[in-house]
Amino acid sequence: MKMNNCQSAVKIFFVFLTALFAASAQAQRAKLAIVIDDVGYHPKEDAAIYGMPKEISVAIIPSAPYAQQRNNQAVAQGRDILIHMPMQPVSNIKMEEGGLSVGMSPQEVAQRVQFAKSIVKNAIGMNNHMGSAATADVPLMTALMQELHRYHLFFLDSRTIGKSVAGKIAKEHGVQSLDRHIFLDDSDVLADVQRQFQLALQYAQKHGVAIVIGHPRKNTVAVLQAGLAHLPENIQLVSMGSLWRNEKIVPPKPFILLFSDLSAPTNRAPYEAVPLLRGVPR
Ligand SMILES: [Zn+2]
């Protein structure tokens, strides 16, 4: 049946109103930022992460075998990158090469940060891998923040210890710092990861922002894929970069977003690239 001109004009007007409404609602939504740590070791698990929305940031360990490759892949996708810097824990776990330990001279710290930046070239920030001893140590954090300031990197404190001084010292050195709010997968049990994801959503709704850290693991990927496909209306997935710069988030194409909130086939295994498929109406 053909619509007459008046009907189609009314229809267009309502589509326009809906888009406007969607755009204004979008601006007030709570922000959910997700960082995946320990990237650079396992091709299969990393591929699953890189198959998810590009707002999910990756934190790459500089000494990991695929560190450089993952950096370049993330750049190609427009995905934010952090240096996942190994830092000394309180316990006696062996630390990765190139990490920071308590008692290092500022020169050693500078060298290690420089090395990390030469591998994870396009990082916009750094967060700590382990680091319960390192982030509580004033001289070490002072040396680190001087370097982060030099490279214009922000610091995301993974908060592996309550006594961390990283945020305070960052501020003193003019380095932007943020704190992790929720760990997604301290336990790798599926039900636990699901519960943590729900907790993250509640945290975002209550505080306006939730910064969540997870790892490239099967259950984490499964929970994220399911959870992000059905994100509540009042929560928006944002990149770390946009959060750090406190950018106003405007949906790029409200008209197209109206047609589908389903995740694109590119977000599911086996992660074949299907250009421009997301949200395009049939
Ligand atoms: Zn880590």
pLDDT digits (tens, 9 = 90+) for 46-75: 999 999 999 999 999 999 999 999 999 999
Angle, helices 43-50 vs 218-229, to 10°: value is: 10
Residue 241: C-alpha distances to residues 203, 238, 280 (Å): 20, 8, 26
DSSP 48-110: HHHTS-TTSEEEE-TTSTTHHHHHHHHHHHT--EEEEEEE--SS-PPPPTT-B-TT--HHHHH
Ligand 1 center from residue 128 Cα (angstroms): 7
Distance CA 96, CA 239 (A): 27
* Omega before 270 within 30 of 0, i.e. cis: yes
Ligand 1 center from residue 214 Cα (angstroms): 9
Distance CA 49, CA 195 (A): 20
For the chain, percent helix, then strand, then coil, each to nearest 5? 45, 15, 40
Closest to 156 in 3D by CA, of 98, 96, 211: 211
Ligand 1 center from residue 62 Cα (angstroms): 11
Ligand 1 center from residue 168 Cα (angstroms): 22
> Which residues are 34's β-sheet partners?
212
- pLDDT of 101-149, one tens digit each? 999 999 999 999 999 999 999 999 999 999 999 999 999 999 999 999 9
- Supply the pTM of this predicted model: 0.79
Ligand 1 center from residue 213 Cα (angstroms): 9
Ligand 1 center from residue 60 Cα (angstroms): 9
